[in-house]
Chain A
Amino acid sequence: MDFLDRFAVPNPSIAIYASMVAIGLTVVAIFAGLTYFKKWGYLWREWLTTVDHKRIGIMYLISALIMLFRGGVDAIMMRAQLAVPDNKLMDAQHYNEVFSTHGVIMLLFMAMPFIFAFMNYLVPLQIGARDVAFPRLNALSFWLFFFGAMLLNISFVVGGSPDAGWTSYFPLAGNELSPSVGTNYYMFAIQISGLGSLMTGINMITTIIKMRAPSMTLMKMPMFTWSSLVTNLIIVTVFPVLTVALAMGSMDRLFGTHFFTTTNGGMDMLWANLFWVWGHPEVYILILPAFGLYSEIISTFAGRNLYGYKSMVASMVIISALSCLVWAHHFFTMGQGPTANSFFSITTMAISVPTGVKMFNWLFTLWKGKIRFTVPMLYSIGFIPLFVIGGMTGVMLAMSAADYQYHNTMFLVAHFHNVIIPGVVFAMLAGLTYYWPKMFGFMLNERIGKWAFWLLSIGFCLAFFPMYITGLDGQARRMYTYSEATGYGALNMVSFVGAGIMAISFAIIVYNVYYSVRYSPRNISADPWDARSLEWATHTPVPEYNFAITPNVASSQAFWDTKKKGHELFSGELEKIHMPNNSGVPFIMGAIFFVWGFSFIFSLWIPAIISTIAILVCLVLRSFEVDHGRYISVKEIEETEIKLRGVN
């Protein structure tokens, strides 16, 4: 019995038991459905074992959307709890668990896979490549992310959720103050998916540097590919820092070391430093690909080349360098003294300069353009003013002396949601709508999409702008309730209403998918938006080899040149194409990592050893395997090409 007690949730409630039942039923339903419709083979052959970058991209996308809903439910619960003073909906512990999970899920298991979805899907198409440099590794990255995310997601029904915030500061996150296994989940779930991110970083850099079509020089790459290159450079630079920090944190919790404790020489601030050396660049890992997507979308719907291509690239490179020099702005109040604070204040404010350059470039792209207000464009145009507000409050926070007033208040919460929602989430929704026809062969309904956009924007402003005010009035973040005398009640109620409107808007997006699956016309062209860059020169659906002939590009707007200036993209003979074979090993390795993480989380040493060995065995098998891939013959390519051209 003692043994089983460890897996029980420490603070159970009706909601948790209900979720357990719901999870159980869903799993049963999925298994039954797959068996009934005889889809196991299809699932395994076409998806679980795939190494095709497009399919992996779509799997990232689906996971990100599911996680968006999980994180969204957490968000609604928090806003409901704070809607009125002295609310008893949740107790302090439960609230701690909810905001910690919300942060981790939204940043690492929603936003990250969302950007990886677009990188996977788009980068090879934008550079004229057949796949990424290491397709099998790419599949492994995905499955590590997936099983890492699953690990965190089971925490609230098995053993308890992390409750020390998404930043997991020590000593709060140490064994004494966080005795449940929740923080172990945090350490291992992020470690596993972080490994996947690092591998994606290596893979993407190699792909972009080594696999571009021969005519595509670096300065002819579409802007999204540039943003991906810079982003992945940041990933490779900072994820190892997180790896070390998480390893130290895990050792403190599992093996009783003294890295971050307050005794025997341990240093809690070391965690804060390591965490933010990764954490701040991490927010730029999220925003730069979003900037890339906006660049593509704005130039398409303004009908003009992107203004200031070179300065766009330069500003991204400068942002990426500066982003590694600002981390201490997250703890100005922790007493590192005026010299250090001034340094980090100045570097932080300096970041807004290259960001401003990008803003003006987008505005100049719009200037005199014939703007088409489609759904992706609405998100992009909404992004500009809203993100500027978020950036400006960021500069306010960057003034270290003033930050003593703002730090850890709702003002900060308003700031980062103000940059992340109009910045990252809008970009993802815009990209989703924009690339949907390329991915799935039909458009999402524009009218419904516009409803969703307007509701999301209005809901966002209602939900987060009041927090600037309550924050300046002193409402602390991460507090599960407040008294009536503080007078925060009314504005928090407004926030709750705003959050509700955002939830409705997400429901409308889901409805839009359903509606469009049923009613959207299927006979659309391969270029429904009249777009400009190379990915649109492919057929819809994109054949597995992407391009029958490696394209010959003349600029970053290669497809536009072809349509308007008579540039010839594809010339030369068809040749047989080399493609990688599918493999089940990445999926299996991901599953073993899940067991590995779970065993460490619960200190089950025998399964931990066995799964460690199993992982190594997978590596050995991979090393000894002979796999030369396969060829698609010229005849097969011709047949596919004729069939696809017939559709359009």
Chain B
Amino acid sequence: MKIDHSLPLEYSTKQNDQNIFGFWVFLAAEIMLFATLFTSYFTLEHRVGNGPSGSEIFEITPVLIETLVLLTSSFTIGLGIHAMRIGKQKAMLTFFAITLVLGLGFLGFEIDEFITYIHEGATLQTSAFTAILMMTLGTHGAHVTFGLFWGAGIVMQIKKRGLTPETTNKSFIFSLYWHFLDVVWIFIFSFIYLKGMM
């Protein structure tokens, strides 16, 4: 494996460069996935059947907390990648750990939100609106959950192997993923919650 030292570690081999490019293409597919979910959401938004509508079940407080927590985690992972670039392994691991904890917190609030909805009679089976709401949020939530395990795996690998072309490459790709989930959340926040509460 040829290593080009003029580039940051995560870009330093040809395979690394391909991995990052490939992941961008994957993110393009993810954008299409969420775009489809959003389109379906807008189509089914007002088809509430006998169930509640968005304005009846959405609550601003937990959603705001979720937003703040996730946005902060996007910031901390950015710091983590910065630390990685300048070779500070310990700082990087700390920032990654904070990111994952924040992710976990987000997930906790989201699960609580789901439980509340179900108690209020808005289950997956209630109406087309509740189904698409839960599917859209659930897809995002499942991505975050997956990210938690993935991120934890990367942290363990860096602890064991240090900052190598492989581990930095994985961390960088993971950070792209995490930022992406944040962007999706901003759309969810604006076009599902805020729009729904208006």
Q: A residues bordering B, Cβ < 8 Å? A: 133-134, 198, 201-203, 205-206, 209-211, 236-241, 243-245, 247-248, 251, 255-259, 261, 263-267, 270, 274, 277, 578, 616, 620, 623-624, 628
Residues on A with C-beta less than 8 A from B128 are 258-259, 261, 264-267
**Do A236 and B28 contact each other (CB < 8 Å), given the known contacts A133-B18, A243-B33?**
yes
A445 to chain B, nearest CB (A): 42
Are A259 and B132 in touch, CB under 8 angstroms?
yes
Q: What separation, in Å, do the CA atoms of A239 and B26 have in the docked complex?
A: 12
Q: Cβ of B135 and Cβ of A251 under 8 Å apart?
A: yes
Interface residues on B, range: 35 or more
Name B126's closest neighbour in chain A (CB-CB).
A264
Name B47's closest neighbour in chain A (CB-CB): A265
Minimum distance in angstroms from B51 CB to a CB of chain A: 7
Kindly name the residue among A209, A263, A270 whose own CB sees the greatest number of chain B CB atoms within 10 A. A270
| Cβ-neighbour of B131 out of A202, A206, A258, A623 (below 8 A) | A258
**Complex Cα–Cα for A205 and B26 (A):** 10
Residue interface mask B58-78, A partner, CB < 8 A = 1? 000000000000000000000
B194 is an interface residue with CB less than 8 A from chain A? no
Asked if B157 and A624 make an inter-chain contact with CB atoms under 8 angstroms apart, the answer reads yes
- Across-interface contacts of B48 in A (CB, < 8 A): 265
Do A257 and B125 have beta carbons less than 8 Å apart? Answer: yes
A198 and B29 contact, CB distance less than 8 A: yes
Q: Are B127 and A238 in contact (CB under 8 A)?
A: no
Chain B nearest CB from A411 CB (Å) reads 31
Contact string, B162-186, partner A, CB cutoff 8 A, digits 1/0? 0000000010000000000000000
In Å, the complex CA distance between A264 and B22 comes to: 41
Provide the residues of chain A in CB contact with B127, threshold 8 Å: 258, 264-265
B25 to chain A: which residues have CB within 8 Å? 201-202, 205-206, 236
Q: Determine the distance from Cα of A552 to Cα of B37 in the docked complex, in whole angstroms.
A: 46
Expressed in whole angstroms, the minimum distance between the Cβ of A118 and any Cβ of chain B is 21
Q: Is the interface of B mostly helix, strand, loop or mixed?
A: helix
B190 close to chain A: CB less than 8 A: no
Say how far B156's CB is from chain A's closest CB, in angstroms: 8
Q: Which of B26, B32, B50, B131 contacts A257 (CB 8 A)?
A: B131
Contact with A along B36-68 (1 / 0, CB 8 A): 110010011001111100000000000000000
Bound CA–CA A256/B124 (angstroms): 8
Which 10 pairs across A and B sit closest by C-beta, in order of nearness? A265-B47, A264-B49, A265-B128, A240-B33, A240-B32, A265-B49, A257-B131, A206-B22, A244-B36, A265-B127
With an 8 A cutoff between CB atoms, is B21 at the interface?
A: yes
In the complex, what's the smallest C-beta–C-beta distance from B153 to chain A, in angstroms? 5
- A156 to B33 alpha-carbon distance, docked (Å): 32
Q: Which residues of A lie under 8 Å from residue B22 when comparing CB positions?
A: 133-134, 202-203, 205-206
Most-contacted residue by chain B among A203, A255, A267 (CB, 10 A): A267
Q: How far is the CB of B89 from chain A (nearest CB, A)?
A: 19
Q: Quick one: which of B1, B14, B49, B135 contacts A263, CB cutoff 8 A?
A: B49
Contacts of B29 in A (CB 8 A): 198, 201-202, 236-237, 239-240
Known: A274-B40, A628-B1. A238 touches B32 (CB 8 A): yes
Residues of A within 8 A of B153 (CB): 620, 623-624
Contact A266 B32 (CB under 8 A): no
Given the known interface contacts A263-B49, A267-B43, A270-B43, the answer about A578 and B150 at a Cβ–Cβ threshold of 8 Å is: no
The answer for the CA separation of A623 and B166 in the assembled complex, in Å, is: 11
Whether the Cβ atoms of B21 and A210 lie closer than 8 Å is yes
CB distance from A266 to the nearest CB of B (A): 5
B120 in contact (CB, < 8 A): no
Report the Cα distance A198→B27, complex, angstroms.
12
B150, A623: Cβ atoms under 8 Å? yes
- Report if B17 contacts A (CB, 8 A): yes
* Nearest CB of chain B from residue A132's CB, rounded to whole Å: 10
Question: What B residues does A243 contact at CB under 8 A?
Answer: 33
B30 at the binding interface (Cβ < 8 Å):
yes
Cβ B125 vs Cβ A274 within 8 A: no
Contact with A along B134-175 (1 / 0, CB 8 A): 010000000000000110011001000000000000100000
- Tell me the minimal C-beta distance from A267 to chain B in angstroms: 6
Interchain nearest-CB distance for A494 vs B (Å): 43
Which residue from chain A places its CB closest to the CB of B40 in the assembled complex? A270
- Per the bound structure, the CA–CA distance linking A623 and B154 in Å amounts to 8
Residue on B with the closest CB to A204? B25
Chain A proximity of B194: nearest CB distance (Å):
22
Give the Cβ gap from A373 to chain B, nearest Cβ, in Å.
41
In contact, A267 and B47 (Cβ under 8 angstroms): yes
Q: Which chain A residues border B33 with CB–CB below 8 Å?
A: 240-241, 243-244
A202 adjacent to B26 (CB under 8 Å) = yes
Are the CB atoms of A241 and B124 closer together than 8 Å?
no
Least distance between B110 CB and chain A CB atoms (Å)? 19
Q: Which of A206, A247, A255, A624 has a CB less than 8 Å from the CB of B125?
A: A255
In the bound complex, CA of A259 to CA of B50 (Å):
14
Q: B7-24 interface mask toward A, CB cutoff 8 Å, 1 = contact, 0 = none?
A: 000000010011001100
Q: Are B49 and A258 in contact (CB under 8 A)?
A: yes
Q: Cα distance A19–B152 when bound, in Å?
A: 49
- What separation, in Å, do the CA atoms of A245 and B29 have in the docked complex? 15
Q: Given the interface contacts A264-B127, A578-B1, A624-B157, does A248 sit within 8 Å of B49 by beta carbon?
A: no
Distance, CA A623 to CA B157, complexed state (A): 9
- Contact between chains at A241 and B32 (CB < 8 Å): yes
Most A-side CB within 10 Å, residue of B48, B50, B127, B170: B127
Partner of B21, one of A198, A206, A256, A267: A206
Question: Which residues from B are CB-within-8-Å of A237?
Answer: 28-29, 32
Shortest Cβ distance from B140 into chain A, in angstroms? 13
Q: Per-residue 0/1 for B69-92: is the Cβ within 8 Å of any A Cβ (1 yes, 0 no)?
A: 000000000000000000000000
Q: Which of B21, B40, B51, B125 contacts A248 (CB 8 A)?
A: B40
CA distance A423 to B157 in the complex (A): 50
Say yes or no: A270 contacts B44, CB within 8 Å.
Answer: yes
Cβ contacts under 8 Å, A238 to chain B: 32
Other than the given A255-B125, A263-B49, A277-B36, 9 more pairs (CB < 8 A) read A134-B18, A205-B22, A240-B29, A240-B36, A241-B36, A251-B124, A265-B127, A265-B128, A274-B36
